[in-house]
Amino acid sequence: MLKFEVLTTDPTSHARRATLTLNHGVVQTPIFMPVGTYGTVKGVTPASLEAMGAQIILGNTFHLWMRPGQDVMKSFGGLHAFERWNKPILTDSGGFQVWSLGEMRKITEQGVHFASPVNGDKLFMSPEVSMQIQTGLNSDIVMQLDECTPYETKGHITTEAEARQSMEMSLRWAQRSRAEFERLENPNALFGIVQGGMFEHLRQESLDALVAMDFPGYAVGGVSVGEPKDEMRRIMAHTPHRLPAHKPRYLMGVGTPEDLVEGVACGVDMFDCVMPTRNARNGTLFTRFGDLKIRNAKHKTDHRPLDETCTCYACAGSSGVSWADGGREGFSRAYLHHLDRCGEMLSPMLTSIHNLHYYLNLMKEVRAALDAGTFGEFRQRFHAERARGV
């Protein structure tokens, strides 16, 4: 079901190096998990994901429930066979997507009533329904259904009373999620989700109650929901390291490369975010030396790759061949600029490969630094290089 082994810890922070064994394989942590909303990481093949070092990816319970639906998924025996990915998968509960529907949904103690964004059908999501869908998906890590506490509620910053009400309902939903998960005899692992808004004492109450339920792993939710960066960082510094040391810790929906490195320092083992692929589709590329806007005119005649230290297919190609012009087999900034200007579909494919490779390689370097006992030095060098600029 789940085995988590801490291999080493960093004396300068809460960072730790570990292995997470799941039903479809072993994951080396800290790890970034690419997001495959509809059963695909947008524009990237499973073979490319494997080549760039992806160990575990996400699927979206809500969207896969809408399309293709439970019957199709069950006919394939789950999401792994459907999308042809033979490594671990984590599925979210659908809570964030239901929350994001806004006026299209009504949240009650029983669950959430909402209109399907696909065809308008009236639907109902509850902790029990979420567990049933995720059991059909056969994901290695299942998330409890929670209510994602927003930073703002009806035009004002969410109050302590509103955050408490939401957090306490999420705790009741955690109990119901666990009961249904066990009734279904799901052979995978169920994670609880810490809520509490921007209030540290509510976060602690949520954490304590979830730990008492003894989930195999824990997530920190309700961040990256519109709050200022310093507020997110405050919660990130407060909550993860207070979770049980012998269980995996997952920070949901975060974030930038800087967020990941600081999250590791705060004790986080697992991250996911749509930022690498979404930013790639919009022409923003992450590099060792800062972010690069490929749509800027200055790249029109630039023969350099996106990042001369990067070994991804977009930057270095696959065979290491050098061309007569002295360039590597990888693609130039000028070419990627041209593809973007022309709206060619190869453009987001190559930029998504690059950004995902950057994130996955960053976590690989973090793991190597933790293994070597040099995470503190790595952290300083990382920030200095990112601040240098491209």
Say whether both 199 and 253 belong to one domain. Answer: yes
* pLDDT score, position 322: 55
Q: pLDDT tens digits, residue range 345-369?
A: 999 999 999 999 999 999 999 999 9
Asked if pLDDT for residue 324 goes beyond 70, the answer is: no
* pLDDT score, position 104: 84
End-to-end CA distance of the chain: 44
Binding-site residues for substrate: 92-96, 146, 195, 222
Q: pLDDT tens digits, residue range 68-96?
A: 999 999 999 999 999 999 999 999 998 88
Say whether both 221 and 295 belong to one domain. Answer: no
Asked if pLDDT for residue 300 goes beyond 90, the answer is: yes
Binding-site residues for Zn(2+): 310, 312, 315, 354
pLDDT class for 323, splitting at 50, 70, 90?
Answer: low
190-194 average pLDDT score = 98
Instruction: Please give the C-alpha separations between residue 85 and each of 13, 56, 151, 262, in angstroms, as whole numbers.
Output: 35, 9, 35, 30
Say whether both 73 and 194 belong to one domain. Answer: yes
Active site residues: 92, 272
Is the pTM higher than 0.75? yes
Q: The tokens 């998990």 sit on which residue? A: 33
Say whether both 378 and 264 belong to one domain. Answer: no
Q: The tokens 């692929």 sit on which residue? A: 277
Question: What total number of domains does the chain contain?
Answer: 2
Stronger pLDDT, 322 or 277, i.e. the higher one: 277
Determine contact, residues 19/27, Cβ cutoff 8 Å.
yes
Say whether both 119 and 245 belong to one domain. Answer: yes
Give the DSSP H/E element, type plus range, for residue 272. Answer: strand 270-272
Asked if pLDDT for residue 166 goes beyond 90, the answer is: yes
Q: What value, to the nearest 5°, has the Cα angle with vertex 153 and ends 152 and 157?
A: 45
Amino acid (one-letter) located at 293: K
* pLDDT score, position 326: 60
Instruction: Supply 207's token pair.
Output: 């954490």
Amino acid (one-letter) located at 257: P
d(CA 331, CA 317): 7
User: How many C-beta atoms surround the C-beta of residue 178 within 10 A?
Assistant: 19
* pLDDT score, position 102: 81
Residue range(s) defining the domain that contains residue 322: 280-388
Residues of the chain with pLDDT > 90, as a percent, come to 92
243-248 average pLDDT score = 98
d(CA 190, CA 92): 11
190-201 average pLDDT score = 98
Say whether both 119 and 244 belong to one domain. Answer: yes
Asked if pLDDT for residue 15 goes beyond 80, the answer is: yes
Say whether both 308 and 370 belong to one domain. Answer: yes
Binding-site residues: 92-96, 146, 195, 222, 310, 312, 315, 354
Residue 49 sits in a domain of what CATH number?
A: 3.20.20.105
- Name the domain boundary from 272, 293, 325: 272
DSSP code, position 40:
S
Residue spans of alpha helices (H) in 100-189: 127-137, 160-183
Q: What value, to the nearest 5°, has the Cα angle with vertex 228 and ends 377 and 386?
A: 30
Residue 328, Cβ density class (10 Å: 0-12 exposed, 13-18 middle, ≥19 buried): middle
Task: Write down how long the chain is.
Answer: 390
DSSP letter for each residue of 344-390: -THHHHHHHHHHHHHHHHHHHHHHHHHHHT-HHHHHHHHHHHHHH--
d(CA 348, CA 44): 9
* pLDDT score, position 320: 52
Say whether both 164 and 287 belong to one domain. Answer: no
Say whether both 98 and 246 belong to one domain. Answer: yes
d(CA 279, CA 260): 16
- Name the domain boundary from 272, 304, 319: 272
Stronger pLDDT, 153 or 200, i.e. the higher one: 200
Give the DSSP H/E element, type plus range, for residue 215. Answer: none
Q: pLDDT tens digits, residue range 3-12?
A: 999 999 999 9
User: How many C-beta atoms surround the C-beta of residue 350 within 10 A?
Assistant: 26
Q: pLDDT tens digits, residue range 95-104?
A: 888 878 887 8
- Name the domain boundary from 248, 272, 296: 272
* pLDDT score, position 239: 98
Q: pLDDT tens digits, residue range 209-222?
A: 999 999 999 999 99
Q: pLDDT tens digits, residue range 258-298?
A: 999 999 999 999 999 999 999 999 999 999 999 999 999 99
Classify strands 3-9 and 16-22 as parallel, antiparallel or unpaired.
antiparallel
* pLDDT score, position 136: 98
Say whether both 293 and 252 belong to one domain. Answer: no
Average pLDDT, the chain: 96
Say whether both 288 and 256 belong to one domain. Answer: no
Say whether both 150 and 90 belong to one domain. Answer: yes
User: How many C-beta atoms surround the C-beta of residue 80 within 10 A?
Assistant: 20
CA 90 to chain CA mean position, Å: 9
